[in-house]
A and B are shown apart, each in its own frame.
Chain A
Protein backbone atom coordinates (compact mmCIF):
# COMPACT_ATOMS: atom_id res chain seq x y z
CA UNK A 1 0.00 0.00 0.00
CA UNK A 2 2.57 2.54 1.12
CA UNK A 3 5.08 1.27 -1.35
CA UNK A 4 3.03 2.39 -4.32
CA UNK A 5 3.80 6.03 -3.64
CA UNK A 6 6.36 7.37 -6.04
CA UNK A 7 7.73 10.80 -5.61
CA UNK A 8 8.79 12.90 -8.53
CA UNK A 9 6.76 10.51 -10.69
CA UNK A 10 9.37 9.88 -13.31
CA UNK A 11 7.98 8.24 -16.44
CA UNK A 12 10.77 6.24 -18.12
CA UNK A 13 10.79 6.68 -21.89
CA UNK A 14 13.34 7.34 -24.60
CA UNK A 15 12.40 10.73 -26.00
CA UNK A 16 14.03 13.98 -27.03
CA UNK A 17 12.61 15.65 -23.94
CA UNK A 18 13.89 12.91 -21.62
CA UNK A 19 17.40 13.19 -23.01
CA UNK A 20 17.47 16.95 -22.73
CA UNK A 21 19.76 18.61 -20.22
CA UNK A 22 17.90 19.13 -16.91
CA UNK A 23 18.98 22.77 -16.90
CA UNK A 24 17.08 23.39 -20.13
CA UNK A 25 13.99 21.77 -18.69
CA UNK A 26 14.21 23.63 -15.40
CA UNK A 27 14.82 26.99 -17.05
CA UNK A 28 12.17 26.27 -19.65
CA UNK A 29 9.56 25.47 -17.03
CA UNK A 30 10.28 28.63 -15.07
CA UNK A 31 10.14 30.81 -18.20
CA UNK A 32 6.97 29.10 -19.37
CA UNK A 33 5.28 29.83 -16.05
CA UNK A 34 6.39 33.45 -16.19
CA UNK A 35 5.06 33.77 -19.72
CA UNK A 36 1.64 32.57 -18.53
CA UNK A 37 1.35 35.49 -16.17
CA UNK A 38 2.30 38.05 -18.81
CA UNK A 39 -0.52 37.19 -21.18
CA UNK A 40 -3.65 39.26 -21.33
CA UNK A 41 -5.79 37.71 -24.05
CA UNK A 42 -7.06 34.37 -25.20
CA UNK A 43 -4.78 34.28 -28.24
CA UNK A 44 -1.70 34.15 -26.03
CA UNK A 45 -3.12 31.23 -24.10
CA UNK A 46 -3.80 29.42 -27.35
CA UNK A 47 -0.15 29.74 -28.26
CA UNK A 48 0.81 28.54 -24.77
CA UNK A 49 -1.49 25.53 -25.18
CA UNK A 50 -0.02 24.78 -28.59
CA UNK A 51 3.51 24.91 -27.22
CA UNK A 52 2.62 22.69 -24.27
CA UNK A 53 0.87 20.21 -26.56
CA UNK A 54 3.93 20.02 -28.78
CA UNK A 55 6.24 19.37 -25.83
CA UNK A 56 3.91 16.66 -24.45
CA UNK A 57 3.78 15.06 -27.89
CA UNK A 58 7.59 15.05 -28.07
CA UNK A 59 7.95 13.63 -24.56
CA UNK A 60 5.88 10.52 -25.47
CA UNK A 61 4.32 10.56 -21.99
CA UNK A 62 0.60 9.66 -22.10
CA UNK A 63 -1.56 12.71 -21.52
CA UNK A 64 -3.49 11.05 -18.68
CA UNK A 65 -0.33 11.13 -16.53
CA UNK A 66 -0.30 14.90 -16.84
CA UNK A 67 -3.92 15.21 -15.83
CA UNK A 68 -3.29 13.04 -12.76
CA UNK A 69 -1.39 15.91 -11.21
CA UNK A 70 -4.41 18.14 -11.78
CA UNK A 71 -6.64 16.10 -9.49
CA UNK A 72 -4.67 17.04 -6.41
CA UNK A 73 -5.09 20.76 -7.00
CA UNK A 74 -8.68 20.66 -8.23
CA UNK A 75 -9.87 22.01 -4.90
CA UNK A 76 -7.42 24.89 -4.97
CA UNK A 77 -8.42 25.63 -8.54
CA UNK A 78 -12.11 25.75 -7.62
CA UNK A 79 -11.51 28.09 -4.71
CA UNK A 80 -9.45 30.46 -6.86
CA UNK A 81 -12.10 30.51 -9.58
CA UNK A 82 -14.94 31.14 -7.13
CA UNK A 83 -13.10 33.93 -5.36
CA UNK A 84 -12.16 35.64 -8.59
CA UNK A 85 -15.67 35.21 -9.93
CA UNK A 86 -17.45 36.87 -7.01
CA UNK A 87 -14.98 39.26 -5.55
CA UNK A 88 -13.83 41.26 -8.58
CA UNK A 89 -15.15 44.78 -8.94
CA UNK A 90 -16.59 45.87 -12.29
CA UNK A 91 -19.69 45.74 -14.47
CA UNK A 92 -22.13 43.26 -12.90
CA UNK A 93 -23.86 40.57 -14.97
CA UNK A 94 -25.92 38.90 -12.25
CA UNK A 95 -26.43 40.15 -8.72
CA UNK A 96 -27.42 37.96 -5.75
CA UNK A 97 -29.08 39.38 -2.63
CA UNK A 98 -28.33 42.83 -3.92
CA UNK A 99 -24.74 42.56 -2.70
CA UNK A 100 -22.67 39.78 -4.25
CA UNK A 101 -22.38 39.95 -7.99
CA UNK A 102 -20.59 38.28 -10.85
CA UNK A 103 -18.88 40.83 -13.04
CA UNK A 104 -17.51 40.71 -16.57
CA UNK A 105 -14.07 41.42 -15.22
CA UNK A 106 -14.44 38.70 -12.61
CA UNK A 107 -15.52 36.16 -15.22
CA UNK A 108 -12.55 37.02 -17.39
CA UNK A 109 -10.13 36.87 -14.49
CA UNK A 110 -11.55 33.55 -13.25
CA UNK A 111 -11.25 31.91 -16.64
CA UNK A 112 -7.72 33.17 -17.15
CA UNK A 113 -6.71 32.11 -13.65
CA UNK A 114 -8.07 28.60 -14.25
CA UNK A 115 -6.17 28.34 -17.51
CA UNK A 116 -3.00 29.69 -15.96
CA UNK A 117 -3.06 27.32 -13.01
CA UNK A 118 -3.82 24.24 -15.07
CA UNK A 119 -1.10 25.07 -17.61
CA UNK A 120 1.28 25.72 -14.75
CA UNK A 121 0.63 22.32 -13.20
CA UNK A 122 0.76 20.44 -16.49
CA UNK A 123 3.89 22.31 -17.52
CA UNK A 124 5.76 21.48 -14.37
CA UNK A 125 4.61 17.87 -14.39
CA UNK A 126 6.07 17.54 -17.89
CA UNK A 127 9.39 18.39 -16.28
CA UNK A 128 9.13 15.97 -13.34
CA UNK A 129 7.78 13.17 -15.54
CA UNK A 130 10.69 13.40 -17.95
CA UNK A 131 13.57 14.05 -15.53
CA UNK A 132 14.95 11.63 -12.94
CA UNK A 133 15.12 13.17 -9.45
CA UNK A 134 18.88 12.77 -9.49
CA UNK A 135 19.19 14.60 -12.75
CA UNK A 136 16.97 17.33 -11.42
CA UNK A 137 19.09 17.93 -8.33
CA UNK A 138 22.20 17.89 -10.51
CA UNK A 139 20.64 20.50 -12.75
CA UNK A 140 19.64 22.67 -9.82
CA UNK A 141 23.11 22.44 -8.34
CA UNK A 142 24.66 23.59 -11.58
CA UNK A 143 22.09 26.32 -12.28
CA UNK A 144 22.23 27.78 -8.80
CA UNK A 145 26.00 27.47 -8.65
CA UNK A 146 26.34 31.26 -8.78
CA UNK A 147 24.78 31.45 -5.31
CA UNK A 148 27.99 30.00 -3.90
CA UNK A 149 29.40 33.51 -4.14
CA UNK A 150 26.85 34.50 -1.51
CA UNK A 151 27.92 31.55 0.68
CA UNK A 152 24.82 29.51 -0.07
CA UNK A 153 25.77 25.82 0.33
CA UNK A 154 24.36 24.81 -3.05
CA UNK A 155 26.18 21.49 -3.33
CA UNK A 156 25.22 20.45 0.18
CA UNK A 157 21.57 21.23 -0.37
CA UNK A 158 21.54 19.30 -3.65
CA UNK A 159 23.25 16.36 -1.94
CA UNK A 160 20.69 16.40 0.86
CA UNK A 161 17.87 16.40 -1.64
CA UNK A 162 19.20 13.44 -3.55
CA UNK A 163 19.85 11.48 -0.35
CA UNK A 164 16.35 12.26 0.88
CA UNK A 165 14.96 10.94 -2.38
CA UNK A 166 17.04 7.78 -2.12
CA UNK A 167 15.76 7.11 1.41
CA UNK A 168 12.06 7.59 0.71
CA UNK A 169 11.45 3.97 -0.35
CA UNK A 170 13.60 2.66 2.52
CA UNK A 171 11.73 4.66 5.12
CA UNK A 172 8.40 3.67 3.60
CA UNK A 173 9.39 0.04 3.90
CA UNK A 174 10.38 0.65 7.47
CA UNK A 175 7.05 2.33 8.24
CA UNK A 176 5.30 -0.67 6.77
CA UNK A 177 7.33 -2.99 9.00
CA UNK A 178 6.71 -1.00 12.18
CA UNK A 179 3.02 -0.76 11.32
CA UNK A 180 2.76 -4.51 10.90
CA UNK A 181 4.66 -5.11 14.13
CA UNK A 182 2.24 -2.83 15.97
CA UNK A 183 -0.83 -4.28 14.30
CA UNK A 184 0.38 -7.70 15.43
CA UNK A 185 0.34 -6.37 18.97
CA UNK A 186 -3.17 -5.03 18.65
CA UNK A 187 -2.66 -1.47 17.41
CA UNK A 188 -5.52 -0.11 15.36
CA UNK A 189 -4.70 2.31 12.55
CA UNK A 190 -7.86 2.07 10.52
CA UNK A 191 -10.93 2.68 12.67
CA UNK A 192 -12.06 5.76 14.53
CA UNK A 193 -12.36 9.35 13.42
CA UNK A 194 -9.59 11.49 12.04
CA UNK A 195 -8.27 12.58 15.44
CA UNK A 196 -8.23 9.04 16.80
CA UNK A 197 -6.39 7.83 13.74
CA UNK A 198 -3.87 10.63 13.98
CA UNK A 199 -3.29 9.70 17.60
CA UNK A 200 -2.72 6.07 16.62
CA UNK A 201 0.13 7.27 14.39
CA UNK A 202 2.17 8.64 17.29
CA UNK A 203 3.58 5.27 18.41
CA UNK A 204 4.50 4.77 14.75
CA UNK A 205 6.41 8.00 14.42
CA UNK A 206 8.64 7.60 17.45
CA UNK A 207 10.41 4.39 16.35
CA UNK A 208 10.50 5.70 12.79
CA UNK A 209 12.29 8.85 13.88
CA UNK A 210 14.77 6.91 15.98
CA UNK A 211 15.59 4.57 13.15
CA UNK A 212 15.89 7.45 10.69
CA UNK A 213 18.43 9.13 12.95
CA UNK A 214 20.36 5.90 13.31
CA UNK A 215 20.40 5.48 9.56
CA UNK A 216 21.56 9.04 9.07
CA UNK A 217 24.41 8.44 11.46
CA UNK A 218 25.46 5.26 9.66
CA UNK A 219 25.19 6.93 6.28
CA UNK A 220 27.32 9.87 7.38
CA UNK A 221 30.00 7.46 8.55
CA UNK A 222 29.85 5.50 5.30
CA UNK A 223 30.13 8.71 3.29
CA UNK A 224 33.14 9.87 5.26
CA UNK A 225 34.74 6.47 4.90
CA UNK A 226 34.39 6.97 1.16
CA UNK A 227 36.25 10.27 1.32
CA UNK A 228 33.23 12.58 1.07
CA UNK A 229 34.28 16.06 2.09
CA UNK A 230 31.78 18.37 0.46
CA UNK A 231 31.65 19.74 -3.05
CA UNK A 232 35.20 21.09 -3.12
CA UNK A 233 37.50 19.22 -5.50
CA UNK A 234 34.80 16.77 -6.44
CA UNK A 235 34.51 15.48 -10.00
CA UNK A 236 31.35 14.23 -11.67
CA UNK A 237 30.72 10.80 -13.05
CA UNK A 238 27.94 12.15 -15.22
CA UNK A 239 28.78 15.80 -15.85
CA UNK A 240 26.17 18.04 -17.45
CA UNK A 241 27.31 19.13 -20.88
CA UNK A 242 25.05 20.94 -23.34
CA UNK A 243 24.41 19.04 -26.57
CA UNK A 244 23.23 20.40 -29.91
CA UNK A 245 19.62 19.57 -29.01
CA UNK A 246 19.83 21.62 -25.86
CA UNK A 247 20.83 24.74 -27.78
CA UNK A 248 17.98 24.12 -30.22
CA UNK A 249 15.60 23.81 -27.27
CA UNK A 250 16.81 27.12 -25.89
CA UNK A 251 16.25 28.72 -29.29
CA UNK A 252 12.73 27.29 -29.47
CA UNK A 253 12.05 28.58 -25.99
CA UNK A 254 13.15 32.10 -26.83
CA UNK A 255 11.06 32.04 -29.99
CA UNK A 256 8.04 30.92 -28.00
CA UNK A 257 8.56 33.64 -25.42
CA UNK A 258 8.75 36.40 -28.04
CA UNK A 259 5.70 35.21 -29.95
CA UNK A 260 3.50 34.39 -26.98
CA UNK A 261 4.18 37.47 -24.94
CA UNK A 262 4.17 39.67 -28.04
CA UNK A 263 0.75 38.47 -29.12
CA UNK A 264 -0.51 37.86 -25.60
CA UNK A 265 -0.07 41.46 -24.60
CA UNK A 266 -1.94 42.93 -27.56
CA UNK A 267 -5.23 44.50 -26.60
CA UNK A 268 -7.90 42.87 -28.71
CA UNK A 269 -11.10 44.19 -27.32
Chain B
Protein backbone atom coordinates (compact mmCIF):
# COMPACT_ATOMS: atom_id res chain seq x y z
CA UNK B 1 0.00 0.00 0.00
CA UNK B 2 1.23 3.46 -0.92
CA UNK B 3 1.47 6.57 1.20
CA UNK B 4 -2.04 7.65 0.29
CA UNK B 5 -4.72 5.25 -0.77
CA UNK B 6 -8.36 5.95 -1.45
CA UNK B 7 -10.99 3.34 -2.08
CA UNK B 8 -14.41 4.16 -3.52
CA UNK B 9 -14.48 7.53 -1.84
CA UNK B 10 -17.77 9.38 -2.03
CA UNK B 11 -18.28 12.81 -0.53
CA UNK B 12 -21.70 14.40 -0.44
CA UNK B 13 -22.90 17.65 1.03
CA UNK B 14 -26.30 19.17 1.33
CA UNK B 15 -27.25 22.28 -0.54
CA UNK B 16 -29.41 24.56 1.52
CA UNK B 17 -31.55 27.52 0.58
CA UNK B 18 -31.51 30.77 2.54
CA UNK B 19 -33.76 29.48 5.30
CA UNK B 20 -31.55 26.45 5.79
CA UNK B 21 -33.90 23.92 4.26
CA UNK B 22 -32.28 21.12 2.35
CA UNK B 23 -32.57 21.71 -1.39
CA UNK B 24 -30.69 18.69 -2.54
CA UNK B 25 -27.55 16.67 -2.20
CA UNK B 26 -24.44 17.36 -4.22
CA UNK B 27 -21.94 14.64 -4.77
CA UNK B 28 -18.58 16.43 -4.94
CA UNK B 29 -16.46 13.27 -5.07
CA UNK B 30 -17.91 10.20 -6.69
CA UNK B 31 -16.36 6.76 -6.21
CA UNK B 32 -12.74 7.79 -6.47
CA UNK B 33 -10.02 5.21 -5.93
CA UNK B 34 -6.36 5.95 -6.13
CA UNK B 35 -3.07 4.71 -4.78
CA UNK B 36 -0.10 7.01 -4.45
CA UNK B 37 3.40 5.66 -3.91
CA UNK B 38 6.01 7.18 -1.62
CA UNK B 39 8.27 9.58 -3.51
CA UNK B 40 5.96 10.18 -6.45
CA UNK B 41 5.06 13.50 -7.97
CA UNK B 42 1.34 13.35 -8.61
CA UNK B 43 -0.77 15.97 -10.33
CA UNK B 44 -4.52 16.19 -10.03
CA UNK B 45 -6.08 18.21 -12.76
CA UNK B 46 -9.57 19.49 -13.32
CA UNK B 47 -11.57 22.60 -14.08
CA UNK B 48 -13.45 24.55 -11.39
CA UNK B 49 -15.98 22.47 -9.53
CA UNK B 50 -14.56 19.12 -10.62
CA UNK B 51 -14.07 18.03 -7.02
CA UNK B 52 -10.30 18.15 -6.97
CA UNK B 53 -9.99 20.41 -3.91
CA UNK B 54 -12.58 18.38 -2.03
CA UNK B 55 -10.60 15.25 -2.76
CA UNK B 56 -7.42 16.96 -1.56
CA UNK B 57 -9.02 17.84 1.78
CA UNK B 58 -9.68 14.15 2.34
CA UNK B 59 -5.96 13.42 2.22
CA UNK B 60 -5.34 15.61 5.25
CA UNK B 61 -8.37 14.54 7.30
CA UNK B 62 -9.98 17.97 6.99
CA UNK B 63 -12.94 16.25 5.37
CA UNK B 64 -14.07 12.66 5.88
CA UNK B 65 -15.59 10.53 3.15
CA UNK B 66 -19.35 9.97 3.23
CA UNK B 67 -18.66 6.48 1.94
CA UNK B 68 -15.43 4.64 1.25
CA UNK B 69 -12.11 4.95 3.02
CA UNK B 70 -8.96 7.05 2.78
CA UNK B 71 -5.71 5.76 4.26
CA UNK B 72 -2.79 8.08 4.87
CA UNK B 73 0.43 6.27 5.64
CA UNK B 74 -1.61 3.17 6.38
CA UNK B 75 -3.96 4.92 8.82
CA UNK B 76 -7.67 5.32 8.25
CA UNK B 77 -8.44 9.07 8.32
CA UNK B 78 -11.57 8.44 10.33
CA UNK B 79 -9.67 7.14 13.33
CA UNK B 80 -9.73 10.08 15.67
CA UNK B 81 -6.69 9.18 17.73
CA UNK B 82 -4.57 9.15 14.57
CA UNK B 83 -5.78 12.58 13.42
CA UNK B 84 -2.68 14.56 14.37
CA UNK B 85 -0.33 11.89 13.06
CA UNK B 86 -2.13 11.98 9.76
CA UNK B 87 -1.94 15.76 9.57
CA UNK B 88 1.73 15.59 10.41
CA UNK B 89 2.56 13.04 7.74
CA UNK B 90 0.43 14.71 5.07
CA UNK B 91 1.00 18.46 5.10
CA UNK B 92 -1.22 20.80 3.18
CA UNK B 93 -0.58 24.08 1.38
CA UNK B 94 -3.59 26.17 0.41
CA UNK B 95 -4.41 28.59 -2.34
CA UNK B 96 -4.32 31.97 -0.67
CA UNK B 97 -0.90 32.65 0.88
CA UNK B 98 -2.25 35.49 3.05
CA UNK B 99 -4.76 33.25 4.77
CA UNK B 100 -2.34 30.56 5.88
CA UNK B 101 0.57 32.52 7.29
CA UNK B 102 0.09 32.83 11.02
CA UNK B 103 3.35 34.35 12.25
CA UNK B 104 4.31 37.99 12.02
CA UNK B 105 7.88 37.11 11.12
CA UNK B 106 8.79 34.54 8.47
CA UNK B 107 10.78 32.31 10.83
CA UNK B 108 8.03 32.37 13.45
CA UNK B 109 5.50 31.21 10.90
CA UNK B 110 7.67 28.32 9.78
CA UNK B 111 8.11 27.36 13.43
CA UNK B 112 4.35 27.27 14.03
CA UNK B 113 3.87 23.65 12.91
CA UNK B 114 6.74 22.19 14.96
CA UNK B 115 5.60 24.25 17.98
CA UNK B 116 2.19 22.64 17.75
CA UNK B 117 3.77 19.21 17.55
CA UNK B 118 5.73 19.82 20.73
CA UNK B 119 9.19 19.71 19.16
CA UNK B 120 11.94 20.91 21.56
CA UNK B 121 13.05 24.53 21.05
CA UNK B 122 16.52 23.72 19.74
CA UNK B 123 15.18 21.33 17.15
CA UNK B 124 12.54 23.84 16.02
CA UNK B 125 15.32 26.25 15.09
CA UNK B 126 17.15 23.55 13.14
CA UNK B 127 14.00 22.57 11.29
CA UNK B 128 13.13 26.19 10.49
CA UNK B 129 16.59 26.83 9.12
CA UNK B 130 16.65 23.71 6.96
CA UNK B 131 13.10 24.25 5.64
CA UNK B 132 13.71 27.86 4.73
CA UNK B 133 16.92 26.87 2.97
CA UNK B 134 15.11 24.14 1.04
CA UNK B 135 12.72 26.67 -0.50
CA UNK B 136 15.36 29.38 -0.87
CA UNK B 137 13.83 31.81 1.62
CA UNK B 138 16.48 31.71 4.34
CA UNK B 139 17.66 35.25 3.80
CA UNK B 140 14.12 36.54 4.37
CA UNK B 141 13.76 34.81 7.75
CA UNK B 142 13.54 38.06 9.74
CA UNK B 143 11.11 39.76 7.34
CA UNK B 144 7.43 40.40 7.86
CA UNK B 145 5.32 38.18 5.60
CA UNK B 146 3.28 41.22 4.58
CA UNK B 147 6.27 42.65 2.75
CA UNK B 148 6.89 39.58 0.56
CA UNK B 149 5.64 38.88 -2.96
CA UNK B 150 2.96 36.26 -3.59
CA UNK B 151 5.46 33.65 -4.78
CA UNK B 152 7.67 34.27 -1.77
CA UNK B 153 4.73 34.01 0.63
CA UNK B 154 3.72 30.73 -0.93
CA UNK B 155 7.27 29.41 -0.56
CA UNK B 156 7.15 30.38 3.12
CA UNK B 157 3.92 28.39 3.42
CA UNK B 158 5.64 25.40 1.85
CA UNK B 159 8.54 25.77 4.28
CA UNK B 160 6.02 25.88 7.13
CA UNK B 161 4.67 22.51 6.09
CA UNK B 162 8.15 21.16 5.41
CA UNK B 163 9.27 21.97 8.95
CA UNK B 164 6.78 19.40 10.21
CA UNK B 165 8.78 16.73 8.38
CA UNK B 166 5.85 15.31 6.42
CA UNK B 167 6.09 12.28 4.18
CA UNK B 168 3.84 13.89 1.68
CA UNK B 169 2.78 17.42 0.79
CA UNK B 170 -0.58 18.22 -0.77
CA UNK B 171 -0.71 21.53 -2.58
CA UNK B 172 -4.20 22.79 -3.31
CA UNK B 173 -3.84 25.15 -6.28
CA UNK B 174 -0.82 26.87 -4.75
CA UNK B 175 -0.21 29.00 -7.82
CA UNK B 176 -3.76 30.10 -8.62
CA UNK B 177 -3.32 33.57 -7.11
CA UNK B 178 0.22 34.21 -8.35
CA UNK B 179 1.70 35.99 -11.34
CA UNK B 180 3.70 33.94 -13.91
CA UNK B 181 7.01 34.61 -12.16
CA UNK B 182 5.65 33.62 -8.78
CA UNK B 183 4.23 30.49 -10.35
CA UNK B 184 7.59 29.49 -11.74
CA UNK B 185 9.26 30.11 -8.38
CA UNK B 186 6.78 27.93 -6.54
CA UNK B 187 6.86 25.10 -9.07
CA UNK B 188 10.65 25.10 -8.97
CA UNK B 189 10.56 24.82 -5.17
CA UNK B 190 8.04 21.99 -5.34
CA UNK B 191 10.10 20.05 -7.86
CA UNK B 192 13.20 20.46 -5.73
CA UNK B 193 11.36 18.98 -2.75
CA UNK B 194 10.40 15.98 -4.79
CA UNK B 195 13.81 15.49 -6.43
CA UNK B 196 16.10 16.31 -3.53
CA UNK B 197 14.12 15.61 -0.37
CA UNK B 198 12.19 12.68 -1.89
CA UNK B 199 8.91 13.95 -0.49
CA UNK B 200 5.73 12.74 -2.12
CA UNK B 201 4.05 15.70 -3.83
CA UNK B 202 0.40 15.91 -4.76
CA UNK B 203 -0.16 19.02 -6.83
CA UNK B 204 -3.70 20.11 -7.52
CA UNK B 205 -3.92 22.59 -10.31
CA UNK B 206 -5.66 23.69 -13.44
CA UNK B 207 -2.52 24.95 -15.14
CA UNK B 208 -1.38 22.44 -17.73
CA UNK B 209 2.22 23.65 -17.80
CA UNK B 210 2.67 22.60 -14.20
CA UNK B 211 1.88 18.95 -14.64
CA UNK B 212 4.47 18.04 -17.27
CA UNK B 213 6.98 17.12 -14.54
CA UNK B 214 4.58 14.80 -12.75
CA UNK B 215 5.08 11.04 -12.59
CA UNK B 216 1.39 10.46 -12.84
CA UNK B 217 -1.59 12.64 -13.63
CA UNK B 218 -5.20 12.19 -12.59
CA UNK B 219 -7.79 14.23 -14.45
CA UNK B 220 -11.00 14.82 -12.57
CA UNK B 221 -14.36 15.74 -13.96
CA UNK B 222 -17.68 15.91 -12.16
CA UNK B 223 -16.27 14.21 -9.06
CA UNK B 224 -14.89 11.23 -10.94
CA UNK B 225 -11.47 10.38 -12.22
CA UNK B 226 -11.87 10.84 -15.95
CA UNK B 227 -8.34 10.07 -17.09
CA UNK B 228 -5.12 8.86 -15.52
CA UNK B 229 -1.64 8.20 -16.76
CA UNK B 230 1.73 9.84 -17.39
CA UNK B 231 1.66 13.43 -18.67
CA UNK B 232 2.58 12.10 -22.10
CA UNK B 233 -0.31 9.68 -22.15
CA UNK B 234 -2.69 12.39 -21.00
CA UNK B 235 -1.54 14.98 -23.48
CA UNK B 236 -1.72 12.63 -26.41
CA UNK B 237 -5.50 12.68 -26.00
CA UNK B 238 -6.08 16.28 -27.00
CA UNK B 239 -9.68 15.77 -28.07
CA UNK B 240 -10.68 14.17 -24.79
CA UNK B 241 -9.01 16.95 -22.76
CA UNK B 242 -10.92 19.51 -24.78
CA UNK B 243 -14.17 17.74 -24.04
CA UNK B 244 -13.30 18.02 -20.32
CA UNK B 245 -12.86 21.78 -20.76
CA UNK B 246 -9.12 21.66 -20.21
CA UNK B 247 -6.45 23.32 -22.34
CA UNK B 248 -3.30 21.59 -23.43
CA UNK B 249 0.04 23.44 -23.46
CA UNK B 250 0.62 25.43 -26.63
CA UNK B 251 3.47 23.23 -27.83
CA UNK B 252 1.40 20.10 -27.42
CA UNK B 253 -1.47 21.69 -29.28
CA UNK B 254 0.82 22.81 -32.09
CA UNK B 255 2.31 19.32 -32.43
CA UNK B 256 -1.18 17.86 -32.40
CA UNK B 257 -2.40 20.17 -35.16
CA UNK B 258 0.73 19.50 -37.25
CA UNK B 259 0.22 15.81 -36.89
CA UNK B 260 -3.39 16.08 -37.92
CA UNK B 261 -2.21 17.77 -41.13
CA UNK B 262 0.19 14.97 -41.97
CA UNK B 263 3.47 15.81 -40.22
CA UNK B 264 5.01 12.67 -38.77
CA UNK B 265 5.38 13.39 -35.02
CA UNK B 266 5.20 11.25 -31.87
CA UNK B 267 2.18 11.61 -29.56
CA UNK B 268 2.08 13.82 -26.49
CA UNK B 269 4.93 16.27 -27.04
CA UNK B 270 5.41 18.31 -23.87
CA UNK B 271 8.22 20.81 -24.39
CA UNK B 272 9.46 23.13 -27.11
CA UNK B 273 12.80 21.32 -27.21
CA UNK B 274 11.07 18.02 -27.84
CA UNK B 275 9.09 19.44 -30.75
CA UNK B 276 12.17 21.06 -32.29
CA UNK B 277 14.06 17.77 -31.92
CA UNK B 278 11.29 15.78 -33.55
CA UNK B 279 10.98 18.24 -36.43
CA UNK B 280 14.74 18.15 -37.06
CA UNK B 281 14.58 14.37 -37.05
CA UNK B 282 11.87 14.57 -39.68
CA UNK B 283 13.96 16.73 -42.01
CA UNK B 284 16.88 14.34 -41.84
CA UNK B 285 14.72 11.30 -42.48
Contact = CB atoms under 8 A, between A and B. Distances in A.
Contacts, number: 88
B98 A215 contact: yes
A224 B62 CA distance: 8
B104 A134 contact: yes
Nearest to B123: A235
A71 interface: no
Contacts of B120: 235
B100 to A, nearest CB: 4
A236 B122 CA distance: 10
A70 B113 CA distance: 41
Interface in A63-105: none
B99 A222 contact: yes
Contacts of A228: 112, 116
Given A134-B104, A227-B88, A234 B115 contact: yes
8 contacts: A166-B101, A166-B102, A222-B99, A222-B102, A226-B87, A229-B84, A234-B115, A237-B108
Interface string B88-104: 10011010101111111
Interface of A: 132-134, 162-163, 165-166, 169-170, 215, 218-219, 221-229, 233-239
B144 to A, nearest CB: 8
Given A170-B98, A226-B160, A237 B104 contact: no
Interface of A: prevailing SS: helix
A225 B62 contact: yes
Contact of B91 (A223, A225, A233, A239): A225
A227 B113 contact: yes
Contact of A237 (B94, B99, B100, B125): B125
B281 interface: no
Contacts of B148: none
A233 B98 contact: no
